[in-house]
Amino acid sequence: MRILGVSCMFHDASVTMIDNGKIVFAGHAERYSRKKNDAFLHRDLMTEALSYGMPDEIVVHEDSQLKAKRRQRQMQQLNAELLAEPTAEQWLKKFYPQLDGIPVKHTLHHQSHAAAGVLTSNFDDAAIMTIDAIGEVQTATIYRYEHRGGKFELVHEVNFPNSLGLFYSAITAYVGLKPMEDEYVLMGMAAYGVPQYADLMRRKLFKHPTITDENRGECLHTIDLSTGLPEDFIHLYTAGGMEQQKYDIAASAQLVCEERILDYAELAYKYTHSKNLVFMGGCALNCVANSRLFEIFDEVHIMPNPGDAGSSLGAAAFLHFADTLRKVDWVDPYLGTNIEGAWPVSKFVESLMQGEIFGVANGRAEFGPRALGNRSLFADPRGEEIKDRVNEIKRRQKFRPFAPIILEHHVDDWFELPGKQTQSPYMQFVAKCKRPDEIPAVVHGDGTSRVQTVNEKQHPELYEALSEWHKVSGCPIVLNTSLNVKGQPIVNTIEDAEAFTKHYNIRVHTSDN
């Protein structure tokens, strides 16, 4: 059975092809159209997906009719153009007539999120927690999963207008950033502020300023924030810029967000009594909050693409599970377009030794928002000026941090991973750096780093490259960030890599030849 999963029509469209449980392809529309967060399926993306064979079934990541009904109820708050948008089913029918006759099914939005997480995990039982801005109506859910018996049961839900995701996006907009895109910037800003507005946010924006066992089920209940915060919610001292007050607002929102995620995680444990947590949805990209989940759970799994784009995989995985009671064959997130040739191990080491900031575009592209070695920009993390230089290249704010990639067996020498973790392959958590003065380019203002560990099984070529770098430098760490500039999608093809070199004068290695 070949299943094509589709997520589109809101933001960051994607498709996934599963063949008898094996994930053979997964890709983002934006990488093909070169439009950041492109909501629409791109013809080249579909062509590549269908090169793996025509599907027997198509499944969409949400129920378009339920979503339309909710939007009808919001008509006074929404732009009328949104109500006229085509559904995923209409888009497929209009632009891909070759798919005519193939059954099109759907899952629920949060069901897709949950399935993308738990069906790529190694858990036999788990609490599945999904928190985002909004699906059809749901904004947060808890599922109970038990592999034995095929149990995949919804046990709690939070519905619109209550939404922690919309709360965080509203704050993002309030400080002058782009909602539904720059939330990770707000998270980075938080390290430079003090949470002096946290109590105001709890009192004015949430139903319950304080959470107890009696009201924990309503811990995510907010006022309606779909149109943003009231303009006079906090008096802004100046009209623009990144002044200290905005850092304080960011720190306040981040603290409240962490508290509410933990409150909901407590509820998830109460309902399931599992010490394994799967966390999905847009809020699962908040790696600072993610790290605190080990205060409640022993193990936490977050699929590398927890937002809506990952739901194309989730929808297909759920349909496969419904038919077979089996998980998908998850190996790694390298599922997209392939750039052939030997991964540039020797060029990687040579560029580092020469002090270069350089890119690598080789092998299959990562499925998810974070580059994990195949579409990455690299540098030696030890130089005092490196962070500013890389931020200048990427046209980002100077305070923005970068991630360290480290040989897994050295991680304990450099970082304190949360819980009892010994690996962090997908940059989903932050860790306190033990030696920040030695690698300043990859340590944030709060002394933490969003660590990616690498072992020989996970990515043999990157492991070899890091090992060779360690031999010649004594440092098992390299700065790793996505191969793009702010506001643009990550490099996808070899042509994209060549264009990146031409426009930004940064060498991009596409093979070791």
- Higher-pLDDT residue of 380 and 85 is 380
Q: Helix %, strand %, coil % for the chain, to 5?
A: 40, 20, 40
**Cα torsion through 459, 53, 23, 150, rounded to 10:** -170
pLDDT at 72: 64
Q: Per-residue pLDDT averaged across 216-233, rounded?
A: 91
Q: What is the band of 84 on the pLDDT scale with cuts at 50, 70, 90?
A: low
The whole-angstrom separation of Cα 167 and Cα 220 is 10
**Sequence-separated contacts (24+) of 469-473 with Cβ below 8 Å:** 469/348, 469/349, 469/352, 470/407, 470/410, 472/349, 472/353, 473/352, 473/353, 473/380
Q: Which residue type is seen at 438?
A: E
141 phi and psi angles, rounded to 5 deg: -145, 155
CA 389 distance to own-chain centroid:
25
The whole-angstrom separation of Cα 465 and Cα 423 is 18
Helix axes 460-473, 345-353, angle to 10 degrees: 30
pTM of the model: 0.95
pLDDT at 74: 59
Kindly list the structural domains of the chain, giving each domain's residue range(s) and its CATH number in brackets, ordered by start.
Answer: 2-115+309-331 (3.30.420.40), 164-301 (3.30.420.40), 335-509 (3.90.870.20)
pLDDT higher than 80, residue 179: yes
CB atoms within 10 A of CB 148: 8
Tell me which residue of 504, 502, 477, 474 sits closest to 357, measured CA to CA.
504
pLDDT higher than 60, residue 134: yes
pLDDT at 395: 83
pLDDT at 399: 78
pLDDT at 401: 79
Q: What is the band of 339 on the pLDDT scale with cuts at 50, 70, 90?
A: very high
pLDDT at 75: 53
pLDDT higher than 80, residue 239: no
* From 92-101, 113-122, 234-243, 320-329, the region with the lowest mean pLDDT: 234-243
Instruction: Calculate Rg over the CA atoms of the chain.
Output: 22
219 phi and psi angles, rounded to 5 deg: -65, -25
Q: What is the mean pLDDT of the chain?
A: 93
pLDDT at 10: 85
| Cβ proximity of 236 and 245 under 8 Å | yes
pLDDT higher than 70, residue 83: no
pLDDT higher than 70, residue 340: yes
Q: Per-residue pLDDT averaged across 3-27, rounded?
A: 96
Q: What does the pLDDT look like over 302-316, one tens digit per residue?
A: 999 999 999 999 999
Q: Which residues pair with 375 in a beta bridge?
A: 361
Q: Per-residue pLDDT averaged across 79-83, rounded?
A: 50
The whole-angstrom separation of Cα 121 and Cα 270 is 21
Q: Per-residue pLDDT averaged across 369-374, rounded?
A: 96
